[in-house]
Every structure is written in structure tokens, then in C-alpha cells.
Amino acid sequence: IGGNVGNQSATITVRSLATGVLDNKTPYKHIVRELVIGLIIGGILALFVFLFTYLFNFPTIFSTIVSLTIIANITVATFLGASLPIIFKKLNIDPAVASAPFIATTLDIVGQIIYFCLTFYIVYLFL
């Protein structure tokens, strides 16, 4: 999910850069807007996943870990998707070419790290 959301956010950012809607003076506003959208999407998906797993009698701790991981992963994805094309443009690297592979690879790794860290932290605290 994170890779798809990150690539969509990167596509929006690259298009905004190409059309001139996003200039060098307002990148922070764009990144914050994408973060808010990521939190909303992550929250909605996490709610659905939590309810689904809870209704089918999965342990509550499992439902909580997976839901929090979804929120964190999608939020990080929107941040990377919105910020990396801007960074690549400042480094004179074509953001349309470099963003998607970098985001997909990074989010595969980061998603697993988020999941395992949350699992370790929650299990360590509550069990």
C-alpha cells in the first residue's frame, strides 16, 4: 500500500513541478498537504483493517499493530513521495525518472522496519 501511495504522491508532485504550480518558494505547504492526505487515507484504511481483524476474532494486539503500521507506512510514503521529487529537482536529477524506483525500494524496507519496531515496542510494553 505504501509504495502505491508514495508513487501517487510523487506523480502529483512531479506534475506540479512540471506545470509550474509548485515553485521553489512553497514546497513545505505541498509536503504538509500531502502528509495530511496520507494521515487521512492511512486512518481510514487502518480503521477498516482493525474492524475486519477484530470482527474475525484476531487478537486485539494484532489488530492494533497492523493498523498502526498502516498509518505510519502511508504517512511516510506520502512524505517521501512529496519531498523526493523536490529534492531531486534541486539536485538537477530528473524527478520523473528517479522518484518511483527510489520510493518503491525505500518503502519496502521502511515498511518492514516500521512493522517490526511497532511489534517489538508494543509486545515489550504490554506482554
Torsion angle (degrees, nearest 10) of CA 80, 84, 85, 90: 160
Question: For the segment 47-68, what is each residue's pLDDT rounded down to a tens digit?
Answer: 999 999 989 999 988 899 999 9
Phi, psi dihedral angles at 86 (to 5 degrees): -65, -45
Tens-digit pLDDT profile for residues 69-101: 999 999 999 999 999 999 999 999 988 888 888
CB contact at 8 A, 50 and 57? no
97 SS3 class: helix
Contacts of 75 (CB under 8 A, 6+ apart): 35, 38, 39, 42
Exposure letters 11-50 (e unless 16+ CB within 10 A, then b): ebbbebbeeeebeeeebeebbeebbebbeebbeebbeebb
Alpha helices in the chain (DSSP H): 2-19, 27-55, 60-90, 95-126
Q: Please give the share of the chain, as a percent, with pLDDT higher than 90.
A: 65
